[in-house]
Structure 1
């Protein structure tokens, strides 16, 4: 089993309430701007800020746990944490294993980054992070797919010539492409999945409902759109 790393606890109780059971928020910590570990060793990013606010609104005490992406669903199901908040798109396949809250981002376009705009995707090699909607999409096209444990490794495969292009959420690729003058976006984009939501065990319907209500309240008052704009995640609601 992949190791778990416990990070800073976040107290999110309103004044006058007793101490509630601690809810462990599971994330990858390696998918900026959604989630990453900062120079202080703390979980940071759009989902850290979002998750802290959701815990406050749901009147829950929460702490953050990081886990490798390839075992993030099994470790939720086995009880090593209570939620997944890790840039996880809502798909029918995943819903067979876990429940989801409503989406807290719109479906984000998936984009291709490459060293040339002349890439022939159908006859080339496309890299993607394993167990993602992008990897499933490439496989469904019948293209040659190479999968990697992390998004950074998938991008490195393009830079070292192991792959012709990488497919990932456009928001996660923007900084990489913008900071490397060798990389460029292809004109083609894909719209995959039903947006990003929190993963919850099927047995934890009450917890799912609490976070669902908190997400809806942030949609209603505009604070979710403000966070989406701040972190440049995608389209507003």
Structure 2
């Protein structure tokens, strides 16, 4: 559930897509359980399974492309791939430059994790991945924000004592809290309007095909089953 500030909307004017061609799905590959690179070097996770099933239902040939988070929208707009499926929250800011499918999760919680339960979340130092809705929230909360390019670096900063706490999607933090000395602190925070696929504003036909596929997965219960499998909150 990430929030990227984009000033390159004009790139969309130069990007086009032939519907008969293979649809390229852009993802980060670094945000489990949504998306990650497995031991075989392939994109894996909830969104890999979801994307493959959506392409099947939409009767579209698809391939996966990985891209660093901080340039994931600009590279969509410039035509490096045709859709983003990367744990991206639907926000008003993003809607200014891309069009979203309907959400394939409901808004799910963000959370803080720290080494101590008595950490000061309002006056302390909190890490978050750069250009996310969590980083925007921390910046507006009164805490000192320290941003990192990758989610793993935000956690490492807490473990090393560089920051007091980390804020991220609770789904991402849950296995880390279960397996390390970190613990959840403070209250869960609900940000954004759920997660959806992002498309260039000129690609309404493609967006419509995926929208229909998402709706069919909601209707037959397979989307909720996939969310359960990957232990992701936000069921319909």
* 2:11 corresponding residue in structure 1: none
Counterparts of residues 54-65 of structure 1 (less than 5 Å): 54-65=54-65
C-alpha distance in 1 between matches for 2:153 and 2:70: 13
Q: Secondary structure at the match of 1:121?
A: coil
**CA shift for structure 1 position 222:** 0.3
C-alpha distance in 2 between matches for 1:142 and 1:88: 25
C-alpha distance in 1 between matches for 2:168 and 2:103: 18
Contact 2:123 2:142 in 1 (8 A): no
Matched, 1:21 2:21: yes
Give the alignment's TM-score, normalised by structure 2.
0.91
Which consecutive unaligned segments of at least 5 residues does structure 1 have?
A: 1-18
C-alpha distance in 1 between matches for 2:205 and 2:107: 26
Give the alignment's TM-score, normalised by structure 1.
0.90
**CA shift for structure 1 position 96:** 0.8
* 2:176 corresponding residue in structure 1: 176
Higher relative contact order (CA 8 A, sep 6+): 2
Aligned residue pairs, count:
218
* 1:83 corresponding residue in structure 2: 83
* 1:7 corresponding residue in structure 2: none
* 1:213 corresponding residue in structure 2: 212
C-alpha distance in 2 between matches for 1:53 and 1:23: 13
| CA displacement, residues 61-101 of structure 1 (integer Å, 9 cap, x when unaligned) | 00000000010000001100001000000000111111100
Counterparts of residues 39-50 of structure 1 (less than 5 Å): 39-50=39-50
Matched, 1:155 2:169: no
**CA shift for structure 1 position 187:** 3.5
Matched, 1:202 2:201: yes
C-alpha distance in 1 between matches for 2:222 and 2:109: 22
* 2:130 corresponding residue in structure 1: 130
Q: Secondary structure at the match of 2:122?
A: helix
Contact 2:36 2:44 in 1 (8 A): yes
| CA displacement, residues 36-66 of structure 1 (integer Å, 9 cap, x when unaligned) | 0000000000000000000000010000000
| CA displacement, residues 79-124 of structure 1 (integer Å, 9 cap, x when unaligned) | 0000100000000011111110000001110010100010111110
List structure 1 runs of 4+ shifted beyond 3 angstroms.
none
C-alpha distance in 2 between matches for 1:140 and 1:34: 26
